[in-house]
Chain A
Amino acid sequence: MYVAVKGGERAIENAHAWLAEERRGDVTIAELDVAQIREQLSLAVNRVMAEGSLYDPDLAALAIKQARGDLIEAIFLIRAYRTTLPRFGASAPVDTGAMACDRRISATFKDLPGGQILGPTFDYTHRLLDFKLAAEGDVPEAPSREAQTGDVPHVTGFLNREGLIEEAPQDDTPPPDLTREPLEMPADRALRLQALTRADEGFTLGLAYSTQRGYARNHAFVGELRIGKVPVEMDIPELGFAVEIGEVTLTECETVNQFKGSKTEPPQFTRGYGLVFGQAERKAISMALVDRALRWEELGEDNLGAPAQDAEFVLYHADNIQATGFLEHIKLPHYVDFQSELELVRKLRNAAGTGQVQEAAE
């Protein structure tokens, strides 16, 4: 037996009003504006853009403000907004070889053309809290040095010349889009890469770490990691030619993985690939490792039963908005479902002769 009820509108309204007040916090403290978040919490902004699948730093900053810094809630807001936008088309694939690199490092080659460029990195910091940041102060401008001009070639290109690494031959098959068609298995690499680039950073990191610890071991080096801006070019149908419509900051990671050869492939280095919106190198490296682990089948490797090799497991659990939607819905009213479960447990207990516990339970 149950009684259908409605109500709670006033409670909900008041809860939202209080949420707004708590979001603002102590009114004697200056309010954050969106530009401050965009400029000073830029890595949070980048994560919201990458996992929200929408490159717009101002919107991501607004979402972070609205979500009180809860990045998954902010990503949810961006995903919801994204669905309201008419899509004008798709860009030509970005040319990361033409990237204006802020950072570009290789763990495999010390002396590579273009050099090792550290960029604005946390690497080599001591991870000691800097109490100077607790006070306001001007930051001195970073040093400059005369820059080399010209494109910075990909490291994997050098190995390609020796035939020591698998190639990534150009192919212009239009890619599937999981934001338009439901994700279906088996998922080709293009679909897997789309799912991974918008996947939860923590989930991707955990899976990538598991491959390093021995679950689907494929010893990876960062062949190259680069961060910088690339132009985005799109065909304009009414003009009949393509124009650059903007530019995006991307993080790209190419791993070089040991590979002893398989029934179908010669011994050579294989590759994992990560490409993510914004400066997001932990995510890009994780993506490359998971991409490589998921490629076991096409490379003729054995399925070791590792979680990171299981495309269905990885892709169906990597999206934090899907995950949080299903997870958090169980806190919403389930009075009716639970009543039926309660009835069932009472009946089972009665049948088992433990009916005397029922009164105590109520």
Chain B
Amino acid sequence: MQAETLSGGFADPSLHSAHAFRSVMEAMARPGTLQDISGAAPPAPLSPAAGAVLLTLCDTETPVYLAGDADTDAVRAWLAFHTGAPMTGPSHCTFALGTWDALTPLETYPIGTAEYPDRSATLIVECPTLDAPSATLKGPGIKESAMLSLPEHDAFVKNSALFPLGLDFIFTSGSRVAALPRSTEVLCADSKPLSREEGSA
């Protein structure tokens, strides 16, 4: 194995992972906010933010699904060395990583069970930008309402309707991270009521 695939981890793991964890936690706790996250230098096509999220949250007991172009030998080797996370398909993953197009459709991911809603997947969505707020968010961690750039709306509206089951989302772009937990209600100007959306889906 080459030294290049073994580099790019946190230089000071306890300090950097604590900072990165804080960023992810803030993003999850205050949906709609953008947080800086750094310390990782993953192989392409992963963004530094996605790399830092993976280094912080994954270990040998969190199966990871690499979707689409994110599934390269270099990424696999990098994750194996730095996290030990096993690779899996979408239906058994704890974390999934990729662009929105590569990750969808969402129906295959585990959404938890009534007894263990936590046995569900968290999707790390690589985004070209997080600076084009398109959806209005309401719910826990949001004082009145917040705005967030989302790749689409309907899927998130449906997901929040599954609460307490459902998926959680982390959005990464460059060295910034945002999040959308399942507890957040997603509203948007052009969305129609859910019942009609379900009919057309």
Which A residues are closer than 8 A to B by beta carbons?
Answer: 86-89, 180, 237-240
Whether A237 lies near B61 (C-beta < 8 A) is no
Produce 1/0 per residue, B33-60, CB < 8 A to A: 0000000000000000000000000011
From A88, A180, A240, contact of B84 by CB (8 A) = A88
- Interface positions, chain B 1-18, Cβ under 8 Å from A, are 1, 6
Whether B59 lies near A237 (C-beta < 8 A) is no
Produce 1/0 per residue, B56-70, CB < 8 A to A: 000111000000000
Name the CB-closest residue of A to B77. Answer: A238
Whether B81 lies near A87 (C-beta < 8 A) is no
A87 and B6 in contact, given A237-B81, A239-B1 (Cβ under 8 angstroms): no
A86 CB contacts on chain B under 8 angstroms: 59
**Interface size counted on chain B using CB atoms at 8 A:** 9
A87 and B1 in contact, given A237-B84, A238-B6 (Cβ under 8 angstroms): no
B6 CB contacts on chain A under 8 angstroms: 238
Within 8 Å of chain A (Cβ to Cβ): is B80? yes
Name the CB-closest residue of A to B79. Answer: A237
A87 and B61 in contact, given A237-B84, A238-B6 (Cβ under 8 angstroms): yes
Query: What separation, in Å, do the CA atoms of A240 and B81 have in the docked complex?
Result: 11
> What is the minimal beta-carbon distance from A177 to any residue of chain B, in angstroms?
9
Query: What separation, in Å, do the CA atoms of A86 and B84 have in the docked complex?
Result: 11
B80 CB contacts on chain A under 8 angstroms: 237-238
A89 CB contacts on chain B under 8 angstroms: 60, 84
Whether A88 lies near B77 (C-beta < 8 A) is no
> What is the minimal beta-carbon distance from A22 to any residue of chain B, in angstroms?
35
Name the CB-closest residue of A to B82. Answer: A238
Name the CB-closest residue of B to A182. Answer: B116
A237 CB contacts on chain B under 8 angstroms: 80-81, 84
> What is the minimal beta-carbon distance from A201 to any residue of chain B, in angstroms?
29
From A180, A238, A239, A240, contact of B61 by CB (8 A) = A180
Produce 1/0 per residue, B144-171, CB < 8 A to A: 0000000000000000000000000000
> What is the minimal beta-carbon distance from B119 to any residue of chain A, in angstroms?
9
Query: What separation, in Å, do the CA atoms of A287 and B80 have in the docked complex?
Result: 37
Query: What separation, in Å, do the CA atoms of A86 and B85 have in the docked complex?
Result: 12
Query: What separation, in Å, do the CA atoms of A180 and B59 have in the docked complex?
Result: 13
B61 CB contacts on chain A under 8 angstroms: 87, 180
A87 and B77 in contact, given A238-B1, A238-B6 (Cβ under 8 angstroms): no
Query: What separation, in Å, do the CA atoms of A180 and B1 have in the docked complex?
Result: 31
The 3 tightest CB contacts between A and B, nearest first, are: A237-B80, A238-B81, A89-B60
> What is the minimal beta-carbon distance from B71 to any residue of chain A, in angstroms?
16
Produce 1/0 per residue, B169-194, CB < 8 A to A: 00000000000000000000000000
Query: What separation, in Å, do the CA atoms of A288 and B77 have in the docked complex?
Result: 42
19 contacts between A and B (CB under 8 A): A86-B59, A87-B59, A87-B60, A87-B61, A88-B60, A88-B84, A89-B60, A89-B84, A180-B61, A237-B80, A237-B81, A237-B84, A238-B1, A238-B6, A238-B77, A238-B80, A238-B81, A239-B1, A240-B1
B59 CB contacts on chain A under 8 angstroms: 86-87
Query: What separation, in Å, do the CA atoms of A238 and B3 have in the docked complex?
Result: 11
B81 CB contacts on chain A under 8 angstroms: 237-238
A238 CB contacts on chain B under 8 angstroms: 1, 6, 77, 80-81
A240 CB contacts on chain B under 8 angstroms: 1
A180 CB contacts on chain B under 8 angstroms: 61
B77 CB contacts on chain A under 8 angstroms: 238
> What is the minimal beta-carbon distance from A92 to any residue of chain B, in angstroms?
15
Name the CB-closest residue of A to B13. Answer: A86
> What is the minimal beta-carbon distance from A65 to any residue of chain B, in angstroms?
27
Query: What separation, in Å, do the CA atoms of A89 and B80 have in the docked complex?
Result: 11
